[in-house]
Amino acid sequence: MRRRHLLALAPVAALAACTADDPSTGTPDGGSSDGGSDGGSSGPSAEPTSEDPTTEPTPDPPTAAELLLEDLTPRELAGQLVLVGIPAGGEIPEEVLGDHHAGGIFLLQVWESAEAVESTVATARERSRADLPPLIAVDQEGGQVRMLRGDAARRTPSAETLGAEGPDAVTEAYTSIGEDLAARGIQVALAPVADVVDPDLGDANGPVGALGRGFGTEPEAVGECVAAATEALAAQGVGASLKHFPGLGRVEENTDFSAEGIEDPVTGSGDPFLESFRAGIEAGAGMVMMSSAIYPRLEPEVPAMFSSAAIEDLLRGELGFTGLVITDDIGAAKAVAAVPVPDRATRLLAAGGDVVLTADASLTGELVDAIEAWAEESEEQARRVEESAGRMLALKEQLGLLEG
């Protein structure tokens, strides 16, 4: 039996600048009686007024996301919680969207042809259920991390360069990024990087500092840039994904390539390095990408993407994020290579997260199978899957993908 468990979802964080998401307050008709008494008598026979405490408020009509959630099969619910990487020049495997109902795709490697990007986006839509279109995402940060190049997107500076110039420069660059993504039919930038680089590490910080991906080393200044990037994307109808929570600025090795040197012994509740993420959340970011690193002050020996302390207590509790929580790559990344493939999805869900990203499309079926089987184990787990699928659909609706 399907239950409407959709929220608390209206908030997939506002994306306010692009969605004008202003649901009805549902207040009842406020016309007050102008005194329908005859000669001033008032008693049990008096007409009830709109102030009558027994009057029920008119409920809000269900959203498109809520209606669609009611209509999805268990397989479709599970599939919505997987985003699949498609390499440049590659084809979308037919089963990814047909049999497994993946929630969407993200573009891998360097795409230099606008025509190739648009063709892949069109194929993704054609192979998805007509009323359940795919979410399309891409890493487009600027600098070295630009998956769209050539005539697919304009060159933009690195976050390090933009951070030195300030929020106005960030706004200009991310407006350009948003325009280019929107023109290609892409709804989500897997950006901006909200990590604050430890000044004592600098370029020795492998995943961020060494690649010029961070806006700086001072939390407040980084937060201003993160907010500017988020708002600039939203103004173009593109969603932002803050990464990599709770921060990769204090680790030495890149979690994509190493399972060593990815422990941050400092970051914990109340840490000032979290303020850049808070700024992005308050600016309306609809997605937060979890780090694959380990944070002993939060939960020893557990990667943040599998940690309820990181997701439920810190991100959702302390920072108040109500949107879609996604993983960094769990398909090819060395940081999670020792975790069995099915567990990479179910451990995220058990910790309170929502969607797994896999750079290896061949894992799609195994991941969806695992989520579907996990939901069958208990009503609580079924509700957990439905809740996350609801967040995915709410985000799709806010980004204009669902019919009203």
**What is the domain count for the chain?**
1
Which domain CATH number covers 188?
Answer: 3.20.20.300
Residue 186 has pLDDT above 60, yes or no: yes
Which pLDDT value is given to residue 365?
Answer: 98
219 lies in some domain = yes
In a domain, 40, yes or no: no
In a domain, 334, yes or no: yes
**Average confidence (pLDDT) over 124-137:** 97
Average pLDDT of the segment spanning 379-398: 98
Banded model confidence at residue 331, pLDDT cuts 50, 70, 90:
confident
Q: Of the ranges 16-20, 32-36, 310-314, which is most confident?
A: 310-314
Is residue 254, in this structure, part of any structural domain at all? yes
User: Is 90 within a domain?
Assistant: yes
Chain centre to alpha carbon of residue 223: 18
9: confidence class by pLDDT, cuts 50, 70, 90? very low
The confidence band for 403, taking pLDDT boundaries of 50, 70 and 90, is: confident
Residues 69-117: tens digit of each pLDDT:
999 999 999 999 999 999 999 999 999 999 999 999 999 999 999 999 9
Residue 5 lies in a domain: no
- Region 229-241 average pLDDT: 98
59 within domain boundaries? no
Strands 145-146, 140-142: pairing is antiparallel
Inside any domain, residue 38: no
Nearest-angstrom CA–CA distance, 252 and 156: 26
Q: Provide the mean pLDDT of the chain.
A: 88
Q: How confident is the model at residue 256 (pLDDT cuts 50, 70, 90)?
A: low
- Could you tell me which of 296, 195, 299, 210 has the C-alpha nearest to residue 247? 195
Please give the share of the chain, as a percent, with pLDDT higher than 70. 84
Domain of residue 332 covers 64-398
Q: What is the pLDDT of residues 138-149, one digit of tens each?
A: 999 999 999 999
